[in-house]
Amino acid sequence: MIGSGGREHALSWKLSQSTKVDTVFTAPGNGGTLNNVSIDVNDLDGLADFAQKNNCFTVVGPEDPLAAGIVDKFNKKNLKVFGPSQKAAQLESSKIWAKDFMKRNDIPTARFEIFENAQKAIEYVKSLDYNVVVKADGLAAGKGVIVCNSNDEAISAIQTILVKKTFGDAGNRIIIEERIDGIEASYIALSDGDVAIPMASSQDHKRIFDNDEGPNTGGMGAYSPTPIIDDSLAKIIQEQIIEKTIHAMKAEGILFKGFLYAGIMIRDGKPFVLEYNVRMGDPECQPITMRMDFDLFDYFVASVDGNLSSLPPALWKSQSAVCVVLASKGYPESYSKNDEITGFDSVPDGAMVFHAGTKKSDGKIFSNGGRVMGVTALGDTLNSAIKNAYAASEKISWSHKFNRKDIGQKGLSYL
Ligand code: AMP
Ligand code: GLY
């Protein structure tokens, strides 16, 4: 398993339950993952050497090594690896590539224009009678997207990305697109290049504070399933977005294998793609994984081998799952590290503590990042899953612990 977040801890936990898996190694892993190997996610040669020596089937968690071509490199060495090729990963690594792809394949997304020149971008914004979102083209650790409430905000966003170069070369070109006001949800599928099996639906909570206030983060909590995506909407998203994407990629000569994540905005019952990711969502992965009633390893192997359609349908626990992210105060800006974390022994059975920004030293666990862990629990209803996840979260403590208090409430209020 390549990566060090809560997503990777959750996937490793699930894979380690497979009778076909002897050992899960995690590179570089965190304070909760087993068999950590200290190789950086961007050291592709080091990872390939390790995989070769240890006869590994490799699963790539985060986007950076995918965008750098880890799958192509492993394939050249005949190493089995789950995830999309570098070309397929362009759906995430270049937002402009993804927007052009959606436009030419008639996949629903916000209308947009592309700019390199700040003056032209500003003139364009002034000519519009709707609000916009300004996006840096390249990977910017989830920060290169500025949602604007006025022309002035849009102009300052253009300057931040194109003139001040706050996101470096990722901001050499920008997208200016219509702001779509609606309800946001995550739709993730697993593909072998031909067919795509939907994962359970989920909803993230991207803002730092309750009621979706404050700056965007990597995600402060998630739950699955979400009532926002009912069966008929799921069918529309599956057919008109996911399958259309996989088939159009294939028609363009690119097999998309791996997790395809569509960030969806629903306005007036109609879904629009805000972004693609070419990996599992984090923290969506944690509740989704807890609801899996199948051997995930089989599905990863079938994705790589191109025979997903030969597997039985993926079964899901009917229960809800909720993940509450425990962060360090100050995240997503500056925060302290190296606080000792206690209380793990008091977490009730059944709840899972998926580590993210933690490290282990002398048998103790210390904070080591902004999002520190995701406490995840099942429940017969969304309401009971929320209660179980918060009851478990309260057992964990450290001096700068911070978490949202309203994870899952968006789903309850929708119900
Ligand atoms: P992205 O990284 O493209 O998903 O953008 C980050 C966040 O910005 C999304 O999760 C949305 O909340 C918001 N966002 C992105 N594009 C739009 C849009 N066209 N309209 C409204 N909100 C958007
Ligand atoms: N939770 C949002 C993401 O993984 O991109």
Single-letter amino acid code for the residue at 46: G
Q: Which residue's CA is the closest to the ligand 2 atom numbered 3? A: 281
**Which atom of ligand 2 is the closest one to the Cα of 204?**
1
Tell me the per-residue pLDDT of 179-189, one tens digit each, with 9 for 90 and over: 999 999 999 99
The predicted pLDDT at position 140 comes to: 79
Q: Ligand 1 center to residue 106 CA distance, Å? A: 19
Confidence of residue 170 (pLDDT cuts 50, 70, 90): confident
The residue among 277, 272, 166, 260 whose CA lies nearest residue 218 is 277
Q: Is the minimum distance from the CB of 62 to ligand 2 under 6 angstroms? A: no
Q: What is the mean predicted confidence (pLDDT) over 393-397?
A: 98
Closest-lying ligand 2 atom to the alpha carbon of residue 281: 4
Q: pLDDT-based confidence at 168, cuts 50/70/90? A: confident
Q: Which of 276, 101, 90 is nearest to 196 (CA)?
A: 276
**Residue range 85-102: average pLDDT?**
96
Closest ligand 2 atom, residue 283 Cα: 1
Q: How far is it, in rounded angstroms, from Cα 378 to Cα 352?
A: 9
Mean pLDDT of 324-333: 96
Q: For residue 113, is pLDDT > 90?
A: yes
Ligand 2 centroid – CA 263 distance (Å): 8
134 C-alpha to ligand 1 centroid (Å): 9
Say if residues 70 and 44 touch (Cβ distance below 8 Å): yes
Q: What is the model's pLDDT at position 308?
A: 97
Sorting pLDDT into bands at 50, 70 and 90, what band is 216? Answer: confident
> What is the position in ligand 1's atom list of the atom closest to the CA of 272?
19
| Of 212, 264, 275, 277, best ligand 1 pocket probe by most atoms within 8 Å of the beta carbon | 275
Predicted confidence at residue 342, as pLDDT, reads 98
Tokens of 48: 């390939």
The atom number, within ligand 2, closest to the CA of 275 reads: 5
Distance 333 CA to ligand 1 centre (A): 19
Round the average pLDDT of the chain to a whole number and report it: 96
The closest ligand to the CA of 62 turns out to be 2
282 Cβ below 6 A of ligand 2: yes
Distances from the Cα of 361 to the Cαs of 340, 364, 365, 390, in angstroms? 10, 5, 6, 27
pLDDT score for 292? 98
Residue of the nearest CA to atom 6 in ligand 1?
A: 145
Q: Which atom of ligand 2 is nearest to the CA of 222?
A: 1
> Does the pLDDT value for residue 390 go beyond 90?
yes
Q: Is the CB of 92 under 6 A from ligand 2?
A: no
| Structural domains in the chain plus CATH codes | 2-83 (3.40.50.20), 117-172 (3.30.1490.20), 183-310 (3.30.470.20), 320-414 (3.90.600.10)
Q: What percent of the chain has pLDDT over 90?
A: 93
Q: Is the pLDDT of residue 13 over 70?
A: yes
Residues 186, 261 contacting (CB under 8 angstroms): yes
* Residue 204, ligand 2, Cβ within 6 A: yes
- Per-range mean pLDDT, top range of 143-147, 258-262, 331-335: 258-262
Residue of 269, 384, 373, 234 lying closest to 318 (CA atoms): 384
Mean pLDDT confidence for 258-277: 96
Query: Three-class SS of residue 72?
Result: helix
Neighbours of 362 (CB within 10 A): 5
Minimal-distance CA residue to ligand 2 atom 5: 281
Question: Quick check: 142 pLDDT over 90?
Answer: no
Ligand 1: residues within 6 Å at CB?
Answer: 110, 133, 142, 145, 147, 177, 179-180, 184, 206, 216, 263, 265, 274-275
Q: Is the model's pLDDT at 287 over the cut of 90?
A: yes
pTM of the predicted model, to two decimals? 0.95
- 64 with 41: CB under 8 angstroms? yes
Q: How remote is the CA of residue 275 from the centroid of ligand 1, in Å?
A: 7
| Tokens (6 digits) for 174 | 């920008």
pLDDT, tens only, 16-44? 999 999 999 999 999 999 899 999 999 99
What's the gap in Å between 287 CA and the centre of ligand 2?
13
- Residue scoring higher pLDDT (215 or 353): 353
Point out the ligand 1 atom lying closest to the alpha carbon of residue 177: 19
For residue 341, give the amino acid letter. Answer: I
Residues 6 or more apart whose Cβ sits within 8 Å of residue 290: 10, 317, 321, 352, 376, 377, 378
- C-alpha 277/C-alpha 63 separation (Å) is 8
The mean per-residue pLDDT over the stretch 102-124 comes to: 95
Over 90: is that where the pLDDT of 401 sits? yes
